[in-house]
Structure 1
Amino acid sequence: MADDQSSAAIKDEEFEQKKQATSSVKSFLSGGFGGVCSVLVGHPFDLTKTRLQTAADGKYTGGLDVVKQTIKADGIKGMYRGMGPPLIGVTPIFALSFWSYDMGKKLVYAMTPSRTDPKLSIPELAFAGFFSAIPTTMVAGPAERVKVLLQLQGQSGSTGPTYNGPVDVVRQLYKEGGLKSIFRGTGATLARDGPGSAAYFCAYEASKRLLTPAGQDPQQLNFLNVLTAGGLAGMAMWALAIPPDVIKSRYQGAPHGTYSGFLDCARKTVAKDGMKALFKGFGPAMARAFPANAATFLGVEVSLQAMNKMF
């Protein structure tokens, strides 16, 4: 009898471990699919934001002027300049983000073994969200560096090297300063994505809970709720992330030697253009935030539901 109970306990433990591993794989794959959806919807907004953030004062009158000048110079395809790096890198970036968020939540449960309520609190969700940004940044930092340089290349009046594509950017950056040059701005990316991810996942979970009628499970797929909560999550993230994103874009896009670091870039930016410079690109970022992140979470939830049915 004791042997049977011991054997059953071992099987239960093995099943739970397999279930957790499967859950992690699903989080990874669904995050990657959601990221692809995000880039396809949001890249033109992102390009507009980056050009507004890095252009000299007076070059553009606003986001619509960026769009007008870009299309005039390069056609519609100009709005998708630099999409290669995020589209290629987005699968590991978003996959890592959602996988790390899942790991962050599991870490919270591991640290609170005596909890009676399985529902995570807002501070606990914020912890898991911030945690998700740490491994993600190691991929996102270099990808952002390449993306920013390609986005700025088509801007009239821009100076600096001419790149033939993402691989050429990496090659020239490595020649310029090795891995340090490729990873320039990675710390700035974490400064943006840490608080931003905390707000992102908190806002999504909280919005879904508020939008779900009493007695129903917030985890059940409801397209309207997912789109709304995802869009609000994106807006919450960018409301916090714009100032560090401005500094990150300027730091990553500037010629070598312009700034000694992230803080030096922030100091010089404020000294030259005032505090308002830290909110350049706020309009395009917020305009992008809702549709792009609504698409992200819809992609995540739909793919997750599909995988749940398959295995």
Structure 2
Amino acid sequence: MSDVVLNFMAGGVGGMCTVIVGHPFDTVKVRIQTMPMPAPGQKPMFTGALDCCKQTIAKEGVFALYKGMAAPLVGVTPLFAVFFGGCAIGKYIQQKSPDEEMTFLQNANSGAIAGVMTTAVMVPGERIKCLLQVQSAGHAPTGVHYDGPMDVVKKLYKQGGIASIYRGTAATLLRDIPASAAYLSVYEFLKKKFAGEGNAGKLSPGATLMAGGLAGMANWSVCIPADVLKSRLQTAAEGKYPGGIRDVLKEVLREEGPKGLFKGFTPVMLRAFPANAACFFGLELALSFFRMFI
């Protein structure tokens, strides 16, 4: 089980790299996903990812792109630690021997297991992050101003207790189980391809970045619709969607059609490659460092 511990520790390093590189893209994504529908004849608040970025910087300054980063940065160490530790657990319970090579499906199963395990850590951090990201965009759905992550927690707890802090749990599971399965399986598949026969696990820094970036794109290509629903649900005013994610889905399809489920696609994909390339590069670097002392 030493691999579980090593992956747990190295996962935290990889997660921090992900947030630092990818948060500005994530802010743009959330603002686009949660902007209100324009009135007939009016232009939308943002015409696209670049317009959202320009408006945000012009009105609020460049650091507005990093709003809400404290929550995922604090939560990302245990989150990615649990994820990569969960991947190692999934590998451990499926292998008959430590040297047995994992198949694509087995890696997908490991990723799915890890996706379930990360939900308890993921949901509160995502809820806090999304609320902080949208409150200064001129369309804060809740109408409540938050002074920071702890203020969000206090006000959410006052509104609806723990259930309010964990709003979006089912949506997060719907997003993360298939996405995590794709994430790990594609990374491990590309890692073998790039390493070549007889060199499994020995990747150049460039190959690691490429495999990680493409795995991130695979992850998000699977889960964007669920992520749109989650963002809407987690930033809505208390009581707006009594039926949860089903009510959000009905509203999106009624008002915007199926294309509404892919809002934020451009910033998601722009973020996916560099953020996840950084994640796996940090992971592999940390694993190499830790193994020097074992």
Both proteins in one fold, TM over 0.5: yes
Tell me how far 1:215 sits from its aligned partner: 2.6
Q: How does 1:1-311 map to 2 (within 5 A)?
A: 20=1, 22-57=2-37, 58-109=44-95, 113=96, 118-159=100-141, 160-217=143-200, 219-260=201-242, 261-311=244-294
Deviations 1:204-232 (A, max 9, x none): 00111111222322x12421111000000
Secondary structure (helix, strand or coil) at the match of 1:201 reads helix
Kindly provide the amino acid, as one letter, of the partner of residue 268 in structure 1. Answer: E
Runs of 5+ unmatched residues, structure 1: 1-19
What CA distance in whole angstroms lies between the structure 1 residues aligned with 2:140 and 2:273?
30
Q: Once superposed, which parts of structure 1, at least 4 consecutive aligned residues long, lie more than 3 Å away?
A: none
Kindly provide the amino acid, as one letter, of the partner of residue 231 in structure 1. Answer: G
Residues 50 and 151 in structure 1, CA contact (< 8 A), matched pair in contact too: yes
- The 1:98–1:69 alpha-carbon spacing in structure 2 relative to 1, beyond 3 Å, is same
Would you tell me which structure has more helix in proportion to its own residues?
1
Deviations 1:122-173 (A, max 9, x none): 1111111100011100110111011000001111133511001000000000
Residues 191 and 203 in structure 2, CA contact (< 8 A), matched pair in contact too: no
Deviations 1:107-130 (A, max 9, x none): 112xxx4x7981111111111110
Deviations 1:74-101 (A, max 9, x none): 1111010110100000001111000001
Q: TM-score, normalised by structure 2?
A: 0.95
Kindly provide the amino acid, as one letter, of the partner of residue 62 in structure 1. Answer: G
Kindly provide the amino acid, as one letter, of the partner of residue 253 in structure 1. Answer: T
Kindly provide the amino acid, as one letter, of the partner of residue 177 in structure 1. Answer: G
Residues 221 and 301 in structure 1, CA contact (< 8 A), matched pair in contact too: no
Residues 195 and 240 in structure 1, CA contact (< 8 A), matched pair in contact too: yes
Residues 92 and 98 in structure 2, CA contact (< 8 A), matched pair in contact too: no
Kindly provide the amino acid, as one letter, of the partner of residue 155 in structure 1. Answer: A
Q: TM-score, normalised by structure 1?
A: 0.90
Secondary structure (helix, strand or coil) at the match of 2:137 reads coil
Residues 226 and 298 in structure 1, CA contact (< 8 A), matched pair in contact too: yes
What CA distance in whole angstroms lies between the structure 1 residues aligned with 2:263 and 2:31?
9
Secondary structure (helix, strand or coil) at the match of 2:292 reads helix
Residues 84 and 114 in structure 2, CA contact (< 8 A), matched pair in contact too: yes
Secondary structure (helix, strand or coil) at the match of 1:310 reads coil
Aligned residues: 286
What CA distance in whole angstroms lies between the structure 1 residues aligned with 2:8 and 2:111?
15
Runs of 5+ unmatched residues, structure 2: 38-43
Residues 14 and 282 in structure 2, CA contact (< 8 A), matched pair in contact too: yes
Secondary structure (helix, strand or coil) at the match of 2:202 reads coil
Deviations 1:246-273 (A, max 9, x none): 0000000000111120111111111111
Residues 79 and 121 in structure 2, CA contact (< 8 A), matched pair in contact too: yes
Secondary structure (helix, strand or coil) at the match of 1:197 reads helix
RMSD of aligned alpha carbons: 1.3
Secondary structure (helix, strand or coil) at the match of 2:118 reads helix
What CA distance in whole angstroms lies between the structure 1 residues aligned with 2:140 and 2:123?
22
Residues 216 and 272 in structure 2, CA contact (< 8 A), matched pair in contact too: yes
Kindly provide the amino acid, as one letter, of the partner of residue 236 in structure 1. Answer: A
Kindly provide the amino acid, as one letter, of the partner of residue 285 in structure 1. Answer: V
